[in-house]
């Protein structure tokens, strides 16, 4: 395999696409899929194959999101409004379509879905990224369960957009103290409202970790060849310490940014450093899976529900080989469906909406130029 990029000693360019990030997105989505599949046949407490650590793919997503937002907007003069519109174009259409499909299925057959609610208000809150209590589960899951993370993402985007109103090249760093204050307030005064619980969650700190990693690659002088090696050692030692000596604590949400977020941040830093040195292999399928990671993250619940019913009719569910086959099949089918969704739906919608946005901005610029010309006459 050839390196994805030639070795470079330059500071990472904010406009450059990072394949390491794409790889991590694909792997993180796959980890979430196998984690959910492993717990599906017999339930979380009775699973025969423990892949719970795959749920930490979510933490990778949060760190990557913070990294990408800072990396792509640094010194770009991006406006807050354009930034938010582009994020909505990327996130909202597919989520709306799949959430609506799920809600219709639940309405048609409530008995077949014991976690999703047919309540119309919960559906509206789900598609608008409003944290709310799930009427059936009494937790904060929307109509598509894994969509709870998007409520965190969208709030982070709002905070990030607000930071872009500060006209300074380091404006985005203002997100760090803002999130820090919210988390401290949540710890001192534990909230009860779903939105307050979400927006003051310690998990928000993982976006900050991503920003810090991105800033480390953009702001200081270029790293030398020892940088990836040092990160590898730090990643291994830190992860071993956290999980070997504090295994009973890593499931705590309050400590999750430490026990999951920090190792994930180190993983992101290591991956980007390796790519910057030209040591990253070119893995085409993994890059494509990274492109389709959002579709994979959202669609696998549908695939899992269908395959679980089919599997229970065809195979025993109390053997390890059966579970292993079920997990592998779920990952393969979910990935295939995700690639099709990405190619024929997500990519098409995103391109069309971005094209409309560019046309709208062009007309606005032309109109402003005409008004300025008239004013000068």
Comparing CA positions, the residue from 101, 26, 300 lying closest to residue 308 is: 300
- Whether 10 is covered by a domain: the verdict is no
Which residues form the domain of 121? 19-376
CA max distance for the chain? 83
- Cβ(290)–Cβ(30) below 8 Å: no
What is the number of domains present in the chain? 1
* DSSP conformation class of 317: S
Q: What pLDDT, on the 0 to 100 scale, is given for residue 42?
A: 83
Mutual angle of helices 226-245 and 262-276, in 10-degree steps:
160
Q: What pLDDT, on the 0 to 100 scale, is given for residue 110?
A: 80
Q: How far is CA 168 from the centre of its chain?
A: 27
- Whether 13 is covered by a domain: the verdict is no
Q: Indicate the pTM of the whole model.
A: 0.89
- Whether 278 is covered by a domain: the verdict is yes
Q: What pLDDT, on the 0 to 100 scale, is given for residue 268?
A: 93
pLDDT over 70 percentage in the chain:
82
- Whether 244 is covered by a domain: the verdict is yes
- Whether 5 is covered by a domain: the verdict is no
- Whether 6 is covered by a domain: the verdict is no
Provide the pLDDT confidence category of residue 216 given band limits of 50, 70 and 90. confident
Mean pLDDT, the chain, rounded, equals 86
Q: What torsion, rounded to 10 degrees, do the Cα atoms 293, 299, 305, 306 define?
A: -110
- Cβ(172)–Cβ(160) below 8 Å: yes
Alpha helices in 145-249 (DSSP H): 148-163, 175-188, 194-199, 205-218, 226-245
Whole-angstrom Cα distance, residue 119 to residue 136?
A: 9
Q: Which of 35-49, 139-153, 228-242, 273-287 has the lowest mean pLDDT?
A: 228-242
- Whether 3 is covered by a domain: the verdict is no
Residue 281 φ then ψ, to 5°: -70, 155
Summarize pLDDT for 254-271 with one digit per residue, the tens: 888 888 898 899 899 989
Q: What pLDDT, on the 0 to 100 scale, is given for residue 157?
A: 97
Inform me whether the pLDDT recorded for 277 exceeds 80. yes
What is the mean predicted confidence (pLDDT) over 313-342? 94
What is the mean predicted confidence (pLDDT) over 182-210? 95
Q: What pLDDT, on the 0 to 100 scale, is given for residue 6?
A: 37
Inform me whether the pLDDT recorded for 2 exceeds 50. no
């Amino acid at each position: 395999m050839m390196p994805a990029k030639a070795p470079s000693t330059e500071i990472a360019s904010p406009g450059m696409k990072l394949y390491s990030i794409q790889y991590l997105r694909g792997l993180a989505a796959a980890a979430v899929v196998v984690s959910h599949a492993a717990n599906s046949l017999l339930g979380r407490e009775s699973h025969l194959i423990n892949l719970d650590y795959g749920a930490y793919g979510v933490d990778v997503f949060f760190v990557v999101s913070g990294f990408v937002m800072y990396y792509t907007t640094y010194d770009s003069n991006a406006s807050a409004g354009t930034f938010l519109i582009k994020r909505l174009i990327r996130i909202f259409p597919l989520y709306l379509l799949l959430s609506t499909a799920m809600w219709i299925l639940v309405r048609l057959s409530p008995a077949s879905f014991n976690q999703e609610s047919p309540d119309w208000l919960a559906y509206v809150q789900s598609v608008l990224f409003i944290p709310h209590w799930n009427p059936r589960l009494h937790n904060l899951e929307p109509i598509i369960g894994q969509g709870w993370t998007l409520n965190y993402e969208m709030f982070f985007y709002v905070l990030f957009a607000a930071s872009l109103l500060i006209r300074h090249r380091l404006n985005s760093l203002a997100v760090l103290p803002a999130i820090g204050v919210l988390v401290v307030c949540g710890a001192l005064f534990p909230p009860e409202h779903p939105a307050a619980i979400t927006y003051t969650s310690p998990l928000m700190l993982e976006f900050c970790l991503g920003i810090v990693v991105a800033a480390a690659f953009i702001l200081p002088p270029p790293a030398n060849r020892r940088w990836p090696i040092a990160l590898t050692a730090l990643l291994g030692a830190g992860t071993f310490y956290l999980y070997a000596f504090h295994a009973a604590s890593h499931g705590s949400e309050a400590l999750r940014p430490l026990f999951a977020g920090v190792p994930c941040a180190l993983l992101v830093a290591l991956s980007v450093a390796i790519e910057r040195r030209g040591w990253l292999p070119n893995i085409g399928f993994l890059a494509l899976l990274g492109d389709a990671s959002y579709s994979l993250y959202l669609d696998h619940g549908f695939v899992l529900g269908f395959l679980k019913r089919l599997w229970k009719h065809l195979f025993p569910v109390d053997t390890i080989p059966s579970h292993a086959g079920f997990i592998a099949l779920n990952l393969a089918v979910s990935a295939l469906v995700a690639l099709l969704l990405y190619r024929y739906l997500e990519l098409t919608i995103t391109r069309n909406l971005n094209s409309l946005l560019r046309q709208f901005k062009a007309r606005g610029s032309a109109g402003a130029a005409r008004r300025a010309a008239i004013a000068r006459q």
